[in-house]
A and B are shown apart, each in its own frame.
Chain A
Amino acid sequence: MKTYYDPDDLKKFGKIKDFQPELGEKFFDYYGSVFEEGALTAREKSLIALAVSHAVQCAYCIDAYTEDAMEKGCDEEQMMEAVHVAAAIKSGSTLVHSVQMMNKYKQLSM
């Protein structure tokens, strides 16, 4: 193993069942159901997945959902807007915690 990330490993995702078939099976059933067309379209779900992939910084997921979003008919503008949503929530989440910092600061200050 020369690197931590290998693009070819993405194709082996299904192999996680080798070490624990029952839970692996349940996971993939669930995963498949989540992405089916429902109250949200498959395209909307793909864009959400793309945004979350960036938020959790998963290289495999970014690869997979960039391609998936293209195959769902999304263009580069829509995809980048989805990533900005993730970025806004991540930065917002950082900044909203500063309220706690401010609270603590005030509590400790005269």
Chain B
Amino acid sequence: MGVLTHKSLSAQKHELSEVDRQLELLKQADLTPFQDKLSETDLFPLKALNVDVFQINVGKMCNQVCNHCHVDAGPDRKEIMTRETMQQCLDAIDKTTCSTVDLTGGAPEMNPDFRWFVEQLSAKGKKIIVRCNLTIIVANKKYNDLPEFFKKHKIEVASSLPYFTSAKTDAQRGDGVFDKSIKALKMLNEVGYGKEGTGLVLDLVYNPSGAFLPPDQLSLQADFKKKLKTRFDIVFNQLYAITNLPISRYLEYLVASENYEGYMNKLVEAYNPVAASNVMCRNTISIGWDGYIFDCDFNQMLDLKVAAKGQHLKDFDIESLVNRTIIVNQHCYGCTAGSGSSCGGTVA
């Protein structure tokens, strides 16, 4: 079982905070190259289909230091999106027909311009998703009104909760996180989130607390609904079961716990071509805190920029992005295993 260090890999100057070292490790594993797997079902080169979702990482700063975090986020990370880059995001969005803006981090709410950004997006009538870690709502008085703010802008809240018990949740996300998460969920429920008829969407995100694949999404959702309702009187809409991808802190965990080889083999064995054809990068672009553009949040953390004409918001070229070939690597097996995995849960 892992021990939370309370420091990012970056602050520890850990070798796996280096992108090149991660890519080297992924390459070393004696596995079928991901692109060969795609070729077996004529999916290589993997092409984008459209740009319907803007996933924007507004910064790596977070109040938590989770064991599995692919962003290597934490209180010691200072990379934060400026208002100027946010404005570039808004300008780029105007050049597309995208329906959804998905805000992530770190804890996106810690960005000092988060509320301003949401207000601008809200005025554009886009569906807004905020990936809220829950504890931020109770971390400081200034965040206590977030449920009301979310409600005002009809934001869809997607929140991580690895399990309905404190042992598993705290092992992955830190001591006391479960109790704080329950408190925050109650606050969201109080303003109407997750309740039938309110239109206020509260989804939960499950990812395994260890080196194994997620359970069947619907069956797990039924369990979560039952347990959270009976134990805490908490309601929510959908549960997304997400697979952990072998990058950053989760990669470090796999190596340190001697699970790396076994986990990678498992991902490859579970490769599902149906999931591969539905991967989220085909209709999404991911924007980094500094305005660079990527195929997904994972490629962003590996600094694998889009293979398109404009790699930065200042050179945003929607035509080139829609027609781009997606950059794939061995970590992509994480999105194609079993029922597949995306920020919206399973895809097959």
Is B247 close to A, CB under 8 A?
no
CA distance A72 to B338 in the complex (A): 12
Most buried by B among A42, A43, A73, A75: A73
CB atoms of B163 and A71 under 8 A apart: no
At the interface, yes or no: A67 with Cβ under 8 Å from chain B? yes
Q: Check if A70 is an interface residue, CB within 8 A of chain B.
A: yes
Q: Considering the complex, give the chain A residue whose CB is closest to the CB of B165.
A: A75
The answer to the question of A103 belonging to the interface, with a C-beta cut-off of 8 Å to chain B, is no
A75 to B216, CA, bound (A): 14
A102 to chain B, nearest CB (A): 45
A98 within 8 Å of B (CB atoms)? no
If A41-B219, A43-B219 touch, whether A71 touches B168 (CB-CB below 8 Å) is no
What separation, in Å, do the CA atoms of A70 and B214 have in the docked complex?
Answer: 8
Chain A residues in 8 Å Cβ range of B265: 11
Contact A75 B219 (CB under 8 A): no
Shortest CB-to-CB span from A12 to chain B, Å, is 13
Contact of B163 among A11, A72, A75 (CB under 8 A): A75
* CB atoms of B219 and A71 under 8 A apart: no
Shortest A58–chain B CB gap in Å is 19
Closest Cβ–Cβ distance, residue B338 to chain A (whole Å)? 9
- Residue B116, interface by CB 8 Å: no
Interface size on B, residues (CB 8 A): 14
Contact A73 B168 (CB under 8 A): no
Is A71's CB under 8 angstroms from B165's CB? Answer: no
Of the residues B163, B212, B213, B216, contact of A42 by C-beta under 8 Å: B216
What 0/1 pattern do residues 206 to 222 of B give for CB contact below 8 A with A? 00101011111001100
Residue on B nearest A43 in the bound complex, by CB:
B219
Cα separation A71 to B168 with both chains bound (whole Å)? 14
B15 at the interface (CB under 8 A from A): no
B315 interface residue, CB < 8 Å from A? no
- Which residues from chain B contact A70 at a C-beta distance below 8 Å? 208, 210, 212
Is B145 in contact with chain A by the CB < 8 A criterion? no
Q: Which residues of B contact A71 (CB under 8 A)?
A: 208, 212-215
- Contact, CB under 8 Å: A73 / B212: no
A11 and B265 alpha carbons, distance in the complex (Å): 10
The contact sample of 18 A-B pairs, CB cut-off 8 A, is A11-B265, A41-B219, A42-B216, A42-B219, A43-B215, A67-B212, A70-B208, A70-B210, A70-B212, A71-B213, A71-B214, A71-B215, A72-B215, A73-B215, A73-B216, A73-B219, A73-B220, A75-B163
Q: Which residues of B contact A (CB under 8 A)?
A: 163, 165, 168, 208, 210, 212-216, 219-220, 223, 265
Given contacts A73-B216, A75-B168, could you give 14 more A-B pairs where the C-beta distance is less than 8 Å? A11-B265, A43-B215, A71-B208, A71-B213, A71-B214, A71-B215, A72-B215, A72-B216, A72-B219, A73-B215, A73-B219, A73-B220, A73-B223, A75-B165
